[in-house]
Amino acid sequence: MLILAIDTALDVCAAAVLDTNAGIVAQESQAMKRGHAEALMPLIARVMKSSGVAFTALDRIAATTGPGSFTGLRVGLSAARGIALAAGKPVVGVTTLTAFAAPIISESNEPHPVVAAIDARHDQVYFQTVGGDGSSLIKPQVAPVSEALGAARFGPLHLVGNAARILADRWPADAVPPISVDQRAAPDIAWVAWLGAAISPESSPARPYYLRAPDAKPPKDPLAGAAQPPASQ
């Protein structure tokens, strides 16, 4: 199976091509806080050229769905949908929290839980706690940092994500310390690709995975509520 993976959910613009029989054949990742819209399509073009794979040869496209930047998510998902439509291929969504947690669960020698956490600002985090066997211990949610620290009750565990250090710095003094703290700006694009190959488009649609409303609000219509002229007779 050939997969094109795309990630623009956080502070990275990344793409990769995976051949499930041979592994990652091409990938590129650029750190950026903004500018994903301008950078993504040229980056995808370079990755596709390096892979030697035609868009029509792909079996599916995978894209991160969030939580993350509202603007970044729209950029990546729009690109994935556009490519999928043009190539006549399905598109699948991978949550950012799952992509953070998956490599630790896969590579850990002992089945300890994993807390994947993303900075939601305002002293809040998006987080999910997953058992070492992949089972859900705490479903994805947005919560105050103090509430997310309740995951300490699960004993020795791993912290991963761009808010891993935030949680580690405030970890309860009377709790078992985290086994590892993997502070990273974004998931490994290779794991986005592997997850995209493992899940189905039917169960994981490529649409934004929002856990709260955006901070920015659209401006009010200045004409809303204004007196309207009478209809002409």
pLDDT of residue 128: 97
10-residue averages of pLDDT along the chain (233 residues): 98 98 98 96 98 97 96 96 97 97 90 96 97 94 97 97 98 97 97 97 91 58 43 39
Distances (CA, A) of 173 to 124, 145, 146, 156, 182: 20, 15, 13, 13, 20
The confidence score (pLDDT) of residue 215 equals: 53
pLDDT of residue 195: 98
How many C-beta neighbours within 10 Å does residue 203 have?
A: 8
pLDDT of residue 8: 98
Residue type, 123: D
- Can you give the pLDDT at residue 124? 97
Domains of the chain: 2-95+187-198 (3.30.420.40), 97-183 (3.30.420.40)
Measured N-to-C along each axis, helices 70-87 and 36-51 cross at an angle, to the nearest 10 degrees, of 40
